[in-house]
Amino acid sequence: MPHLKVDRVSKVYKVGAFGGKELLAVRDVSFEVQPGEVVSLIGESGSGKSTIGRMILRLLPVTRGAITVDGVDIAQLKHKKLKGYWRTTQGVFQDPFSSYNPIFKADRIFRLVRESYFSSVGSAEWKSKLAASLEAVSLDPGQVLNKYPHQLSGGQLQRLLIARALLLDIEFLVADEVISMLDASTRIDVLNLLGDLKARGLGIVFITHDLSLGNYISEKTVILRRGAVVEMGATDKVFGNPQHPYTKMLLASVPQLHSKWEELDPQLKAQITELAGSQAADRPYAEAGRAVLPADRDGAELVEVEHDHLAAPV
């Protein structure tokens, strides 16, 4: 069984003129993804969720720690092996319109995959493969092939990108805010599509800022704040019995359809205002300067609240 493990990963960015400052974007994050499960990384902007996704895809190097697939550190992969890794792990990103080159037709993305991965596959076989992957994302080939990106809707473009990933023999998919740009009436269908892929045995890292989406689709949830995990575990446990005040605040801030903000528990409300205040006081790059990487086994370890549910101590 393939099995993706993020093990005590930290990431430092060089920022400022000539990279003179450092920004600790991810600190000491660990979680695992099994086939057939969706793990949500939930956090606000600047929480490091997208950085983690990009590190899993090996678009960014890891500063400390390791990301392993079946025990193999992906940082060690080179040339053919790296290409082999990308055959099994692919990403889909937020803005479908910027993922395509507007000068070329949208189905060029399939041709590029064929050129670099399936150059020996015959036309007929390729056609049936393409048809199968388009069917998996419920697209009608006649409607989407041979069209330019501007002729297709955001939902269709996003599905095409998922279909492109499916052409390869992928085991893991990193879905970074894939539906935040889509309209309400079509976004749920793309989300359900991720659910179908999960049923087919794919491991999905679902990155979102929207708690209700993470709650809807995922088995496991990781809540991030400023690069560190504040709470993680089985989704129903994290959402049903939140321990960390930050998780409670996020949950209480989500606009609900059937209960109003005013009906919140006053004690929780005060806590939220306090946290939101400290949040607002943070300037971007407040942590710039020389970043201090957490030493081994140092600082806030997560505490087990119940089975399959960890939270950072307050």
Binding site for other proteins (CB under 8 A): 44-45, 153, 183-189, 191-192, 195, 209-213, 215-217, 235-236, 239, 249-251, 253-258, 260-261, 272, 275-277, 279-280, 282-284
Q: Which is closer to other proteins, CB of 128 or CB of 180?
A: 180
Q: Which is closer to other proteins, CB of 53 or CB of 214?
A: 214
- Least distance (Å) from other proteins to the CB of residue 252? 8
Q: Which is closer to other proteins, CB of 57 or CB of 187?
A: 187
Q: Write out the H or E segment, with its range, that includes residue 247.
A: helix 245-253
- Least distance (Å) from other proteins to the CB of residue 18? 19
Q: If you ran DSSP here, which 8-state letter would residue 74 be given?
A: G
**Amino acid code (one letter) for 48:** G
C-alpha distances (whole Å) from 277 to each of 113, 175, 222, 272 are 48, 31, 23, 8
Token pair belonging to 93: 């990103």
- Least distance (Å) from other proteins to the CB of residue 181? 9
Q: Which is closer to other proteins, CB of 30 or CB of 271?
A: 271
Name the pairing type of β-strands 89-92 and 172-176.
Answer: parallel
Q: Let me know the angle formed at the C-alpha of 267 by 265 and 271, rounded to the nearest 5 degrees.
A: 115
* Residue indicated by tokens 């955001």: 154
- Least distance (Å) from other proteins to the CB of residue 50? 14
- Least distance (Å) from other proteins to the CB of residue 68? 28
- End-to-end Cα, the chain, rounded Å: 36
In degrees rounded to 5, what are phi and psi of residue 222? -120, 120
* Residue indicated by tokens 């081994």: 296
**Amino acid code (one letter) for 253:** S
- Least distance (Å) from other proteins to the CB of residue 245? 12
Contact 182, 154 (CB under 8 A): yes
Q: Which is closer to other proteins, CB of 76 or CB of 153?
A: 153
Closest CA to 157 of 169, 145, 172, 175: 145
Question: Taking the CB of residue 226, how many other CB atoms lie within 10 A of it?
Answer: 19
Q: Which is closer to other proteins, CB of 6 or CB of 207?
A: 207
Q: Which is closer to other proteins, CB of 57 or CB of 220?
A: 220
- Least distance (Å) from other proteins to the CB of residue 198? 9
